[in-house]
Structure 1
Amino acid sequence: MQRYTTPAIVLHWLVAILIVATFALGLTMVDIPGLTPTKLKYFSWHKWLGVTVLGLACLRLIWRKTQGAPPYPDSMQPWQQRAAHALHILLYILIFAVPISGYFYSLAAGVPVSYLGIIPLPVLIAPNPDLKPILKLLHYTLNMIMLGAVSVHVLAALKHHFINRDGVLKRMLP
């Protein structure tokens, strides 16, 4: 069974951990009532993590396009291979779309984004109170779709490991 390359494995797990952290932080910060210093700090950290995920996703996509992925095991049915491929495409789309939607939501809310509080990101749209709720809903919806897609991805990997015992999960383990 062929494995993913070490850089692909590192990028996969780093992005996965950061997505979980960003998601958990997002859920935590929106439950804090009012506009407190803690809530503002969490919003900043959430944005920094999102920008980091976006940057690593770019590296990951470049690596994937240049290095490819190991083939699925012969034991996987063609429909399973197509489903796995479609899910990977969806995950890549979401890994980009979620932080980009959050970025535009911040801009529409009139809150410029700076990475680590040091590097200002370009302001691509002006504050827009009409667009703000639409982008907020889009960001939330994309996150919920990501939660579902990641859950299916994890469950499928566990099924392959514990039921099929076909080595699919081992290809991505460090």
Structure 2
Amino acid sequence: MLFTETELQGAFIIDLNLHQDHRGFFSRSFCINEFAEHGLNSKIVQCNLSFNHKKGTLRGMHYQIPPSQESKLVRCIHGAIYDVIIDLRPESPTYLSYIGVELTAENRRALYIPDRFAHGFQTLSDDAEVMYQMGDFYAPEYASGYRYDDPAFGIEWPLPVTEISEKDRAWSLFEQAKIVTPAGM
């Protein structure tokens, strides 16, 4: 695997190191040792799939607070998405900054998202399917989010939003949120 750290410290784009021949290719997509060598959480406790019918569908911006923070490894396995993460670490020099990465079935790229980041994506194609490997279990009592169009972040989504859940549309704006952030968040 080829690890490229993004401008948000601890977040990595992970490209496959393809071993190709006349049959196709073989590549490792996860290795506990390689993740540990890069200082990434190598614990995976849950894998999730998200299927999205329509181009322009938006999911996010989600995160979990301690004690149930989630690191994620996200890969688009069918179609294409624009994957976005926001640094929510107050001590970080990139606090409240975001990046967006295009993940497609063709580029086979993954995005590693550390704890204490918000995450969301927008589909760039119909019938997009996304696979998540999670570093902690989903815990609804610790789940939260921010609005996808929050001016505090200034995310530039590539398409108009065609589908979004009521829950995602109703998240608070960052400046209005009354967030209880236990030590470490």
Could you say which structure has the larger radius of gyration?
A: 1
Q: Which has the higher strand share?
A: 2
Band the TM-score falls in, shorter-chain normalisation: under 0.3
TM-score normalised per structure 2: 0.21
Q: TM-score, normalised by structure 1?
A: 0.22
